[in-house]
Amino acid sequence: MSGIQIIGMGHAVPSVCVTNTDLKKVMETSEEWIRTRTGICERRFCGEGESLVTLAVRASEEAIASSGVRKEKICLVITATVTPDYQVPSTSCLVQEKLGLPSGIPAFDLNAACSGFVYGLSLVQALLPENGFALLIGAEQLSRMLDFSDRSTAVLFGDGAAAAVLQKKAGVVFYSHLAADGNRNALWAASAPANRLPAWKNAAPQEEEETAGGEPEDTGKYKIHMDGRAVFRFAVRALSEELRELEKQSGIPAEEIDQIVCHQANQRILDYVRKERGLPEEKFYRNLDRYGNTSGASIPLALYDLWSAGNLEPGTRIFCIGFGAGLTWAGACLTF
Ligand code: ACO
């Protein structure tokens, strides 16, 4: 049996730090409400000269350097993101160009929202040849989507990126499980500017455009809709189920796993499942106090923190669990 293993990691945290108190200046909220309801204290937003691609490139450069792998050896690039700079070319193709990665290898983006990085691990396992090396990136610039007149969503999200170089090796244990339920897509939805109208409507001159009954209004802005309480209920259930699924597949009880790295959406979601299972606080890694919810970047950013702090000794076993819009959820068991 062959499995993928992380052999290098990198990250890129944008320059602008926005605290809960900063948000209080632009909307009716309080530092205390945000901290106690979510666990978030601050988040990072891209500033001048920063974009999704610049973050992805920085994270990838560090990951490749820390892996010691020559970039000519990378044979697959995948980026998990819901906020690419361009619909085409993909973020992965742009990273391939900017880092001079080999031509002719597969490179593409995937959208599975906050489960994206875990979906990506599973794809790397499926696509990478024995002994091959892949670059897997999780990157988001969610600040671009935020509507600061909606305090129930604007306080939750942040920007960031992290990347991993993976190698497929004989004898490495890797398990994964992917899931989605499109029937519940309306619980969390972000519509892109001008993407929701029929093509001919987009092409029509401005003065002739009108919003007919039942058609979505095109404001030229992203719109986030989230039913927070329903998403909360979904998230605790998905996290619990995925934990049980990984225990079943790997044969490792959660009590014996070294770390559980979950999507960093809300401290209360993590606490709920931790208490339900009677697991110790230190088993659930968290950094959402510093970064907020960074969707596809949140799990690799957490892995990067553990990696750079020297907490991923050879043999360390980790469950990664993502859940998010779609709805999607996914789990993976990694061995370091
Ligand atoms: N500041 C102050 N008050 C606020 C704010 C704010 N930023 N936002 C909402 N409120 C108010 C509401 O207006 C409401 O006031 P009311 O009682 O007078 O009507 C009150 O706070 C309670 O609102 P709720 O929405 O019930 O608050 P809740 O405790 O559910 O917390 C939250 C909201 C944090 C969004 C929570 O539901 C949650 O975390 N849900 C899960 C969201 C999530 O994890 N999403 C991401 C996962 S999917 C993904 O990452 C793509």
For residues 114 and 237, state if they share a domain. no
The tens digit of pLDDT for each residue in 225-262 reads 899 999 999 999 999 999 999 999 999 999 999 999 99
Which strands sit side by side in the sheet containing 328-335, from one edge to the other? 175-180, 328-335, 317-324, 259-262, 284-285
Per the listing, tokens 């929202």 go with: 113
Domains in the chain, number: 2
For residues 260 and 154, state if they share a domain. no
| Ligand 1 and 188: CB distance under 6 A | yes
pLDDT of residue 205: 62
| Ligand 1 and 295: CB distance under 6 A | yes
**pLDDT-based confidence at residue 210 (cuts at 50, 70, 90):** very low
Q: What is the mean pLDDT of residues 92-107?
A: 98
Q: Quick check: is 198 in a domain?
A: no
Q: Quick check: is 321 in a domain?
A: yes
Residues counted in the chain = 336
Q: What is the mean pLDDT of residues 141-156?
A: 93
Q: Considering the chain, what is the average pLDDT of its residues?
A: 93
Q: What is the mean pLDDT of residues 126-135?
A: 97
**pLDDT-based confidence at residue 202 (cuts at 50, 70, 90):** low
Mutation test residue for ligand 1: of 37, 40, 117, 239, the one with most atoms within 8 Å of CB: 37
Q: Quick check: is 298 in a domain?
A: yes
pLDDT surpasses 50 at 212: no
For residues 154 and 238, state if they share a domain. no
75 is catalytic: no
133-147, 178-192, 205-219, 251-265: range with lowest mean pLDDT = 205-219
CA distances from 319 to 34, 74, 101, 306 (A): 28, 25, 30, 13
39-53 burial, b at 16+ Cβ within 10 Å, e below that, comes to bbbbbbbbeeebbbb
How far apart CA 109 and CA 125 sit, in angstroms, is 16
| Ligand 1 and 232: CB distance under 6 A | yes
Q: What is the mean pLDDT of residues 9-14?
A: 98
| Ligand 1 and 190: CB distance under 6 A | no
Q: What is the mean pLDDT of residues 305-325?
A: 95
Mutation test residue for ligand 1: of 232, 299, 329, the one with most atoms within 8 Å of CB: 232
Q: Helices 91-99 and 52-67 meet at what angle, rounded to 10?
A: 60
Centroid of ligand 1 to alpha carbon of 51 (angstroms): 28
Hey, what amino acid is at 71?
A: K
Q: Which residues touch 190 (CB under 8 Å, ≥6 apart)?
A: 82, 145, 222, 223, 224, 225, 325
Say which CATH number the domain at 180 has. Answer: 3.40.47.10
Q: Quick check: is 8 in a domain?
A: yes
For residues 39 and 165, state if they share a domain. yes
| Residue 298 Cα: closest atom of ligand 1 | 50
How far apart CA 247 and CA 331 sit, in angstroms, is 10
**pLDDT-based confidence at residue 22 (cuts at 50, 70, 90):** very high
For residues 166 and 179, state if they share a domain. no
Among residues 266, 293, 320, 333, which one is catalytic?
Answer: 293
Residues 224, 146 contacting (CB under 8 angstroms): yes
Encoding tokens for residue 291? 């970064």
Q: Quick check: is 219 in a domain?
A: no
**pLDDT-based confidence at residue 1 (cuts at 50, 70, 90):** confident
For residues 150 and 179, state if they share a domain. no
Tell me, rounded to whole angstroms, the distance of Cα 246 from its chain centroid.
19
Q: Quick check: is 211 in a domain?
A: no
| Ligand 1 and 33: CB distance under 6 A | yes
CA distances from 73 to 52, 135, 287 (A): 24, 10, 32
Centroid of ligand 1 to alpha carbon of 34 (angstroms): 9
Centroid of ligand 1 to alpha carbon of 233 (angstroms): 12
From the number of C-beta atoms within 10 Å of its C-beta (0-12, 13-18, 19+), residue 310 rates as exposed
Q: Quick check: is 204 in a domain?
A: no
262 is catalytic: no
For residues 155 and 74, state if they share a domain. yes
Hey, what amino acid is at 21?
A: T
| Ligand 1 and 36: CB distance under 6 A | no
Centroid of ligand 1 to alpha carbon of 20 (angstroms): 15
What is the reported pTM? 0.93
Per the DSSP assignment, residues forming a β-bridge with 332 are 176, 320
The tens digit of pLDDT for each residue in 25-81 reads 999 999 999 999 999 999 999 999 999 999 999 999 999 999 999 999 999 999 999
293 is catalytic: yes
pLDDT surpasses 50 at 209: no
| Ligand 1 and 202: CB distance under 6 A | no
For residues 179 and 290, state if they share a domain. yes
Centroid of ligand 1 to alpha carbon of 240 (angstroms): 21
